[in-house]
């Protein structure tokens, strides 16, 4: 499998999807360490980014060691979108991604995210503004359409290609589905047939079997994995290895797992500061403990502990079930 974006090859063509509150610098760095063709930042609202709202610029923080980062921006006006793209490019982004797929009401209510699929002429003006503002590859992430009566992803993708977009990622649901039901990978094929640029399939892809089926049904050039990587940052590398027929990465177990989780936790404390980092890290610790089968009482203790040093002391015991299984 080979996917070219601009003048660079995305190898492997297995990418980390943008996830609000999850795909921050510490997590992207961890996923990249196992192996991923591209990792995408949390969605950044262009207006909040330009006004330096607290916490917004941190979402775009790249990190010197993570070169395969795409920064995703969202908005409803061409001017702020273009300026946000320029500033993100100046920060060192390698790729700019435009969000036209987020289904959240607080986003679509402001005519951003997937709401833009209802106004394709205006959506195109945003795309043209971003493409014209930077010399980087610009990509587009969207859904099949607003609802089943308006499956206009192929038309929007074709117009986006004409405006200079170099790759499109399609989540195989409509906005009105949110995350319910199953992603329709076969429906992505119409987008693939409408454009000559790479198309990436997204939605319900969690392992090699689902990735292989998504590629078969969609004809896509690559896959994007989001929720499947929660608590398992090695998943993307494992999927890529199985698709390529190469040796899979070694999944951390026992002491290696404890060291990895502890390192991830400490990286979040450094990135956010101890108090905020401890709170933000809880979701990740919860996923790790879910996979490890941590007893409920101990899990609750870890998830509610405010003393970061004690959390670190508790992690070996909390992950002991996984360690013993190894």
> Residues with catalytic annotation?
102
Cα–Cα distance, 131 to 199 (Å, whole number) = 18
- Outline where DSSP puts E strands in the chain: 4-5, 8-9, 14-16, 38-40, 44-45, 69-74, 95-100, 138-143, 167-171, 199-202, 222-225
Residue 105 burial (CB count, 10 A): 11
Structure token pair of residue 165:
């977009």
Which residues partner with 98 through β-bridges?
73, 140
Ramachandran angles phi, psi of 7, nearest 5°? -105, 20
Burial 2-37 (b: 16+ CB within 10 A, else e): ebbbeeeebbbbbbbbbbeebbbbbbbbbbbbbbbb
How many whole angstroms separate alpha carbon 184 and alpha carbon 326? 36
Listed residue (314, 218, 186) closest to 261, CA to CA: 314
């Amino acid at each position: 499998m080979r996917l070219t974006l601009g003048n660079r090859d995305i190898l492997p063509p297995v990418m980390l999807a943008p996830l609000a509150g999850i795909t921050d610098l510490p997590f992207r760095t961890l996923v990249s360490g196992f192996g991923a063709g591209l990792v995408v930042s949390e969605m950044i609202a262009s207006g909040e980014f330009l006004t330096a709202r607290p916490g917004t610029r941190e979402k775009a923080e790249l990190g010197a060691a993570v070169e395969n980062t795409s920064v995703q921006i969202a908005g409803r006006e061409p001017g702020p979108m273009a300026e946000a793209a320029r500033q993100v490019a100046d920060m060192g982004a390698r790729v700019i991604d435009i969000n036209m797929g987020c289904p959240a009401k607080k986003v679509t209510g402001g005519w951003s995210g997937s709401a833009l699929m209802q106004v394709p002429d205006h959506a195109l003006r945003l795309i043209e503004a971003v493409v014209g503002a930077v010399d980087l590859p610009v990509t587009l992430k969207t859904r099949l359409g607003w609802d089943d009566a308006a499956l206009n992803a192929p038309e929007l993708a074709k117009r986006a290609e004409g405006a200079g977009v170099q790759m499109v990622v399609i989540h195989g649901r409509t906005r009105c589905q949110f995350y319910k039901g199953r992603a329709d990978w076969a429906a992505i094929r119409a987008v693939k047939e409408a454009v000559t640029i790479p198309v990436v399939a997204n939605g319900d892809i969690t392992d090699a079997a689902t990735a292989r089926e998504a590629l078969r049904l969609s004809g896509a050039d690559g896959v994007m994995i989001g929720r499947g990587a929660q608590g398992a940052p090695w998943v993307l590398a494992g999927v890529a290895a199985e698709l390529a027929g190469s040796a899979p990465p070694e999944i951390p177990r026992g002491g290696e797992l404890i060291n990895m989780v502890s390192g991830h936790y400490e990286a979040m404390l450094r990135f956010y500061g101890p108090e905020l980092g401890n709170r933000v890290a809880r979701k990740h610790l919860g996923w790790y403990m879910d996979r490890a089968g941590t007893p409920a009482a101990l899990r609750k203790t870890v998830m509610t502990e405010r003393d970061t040093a004690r959390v670190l002391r508790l992690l070996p015991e909390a992950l002991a079930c996984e360690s013993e299984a190894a």
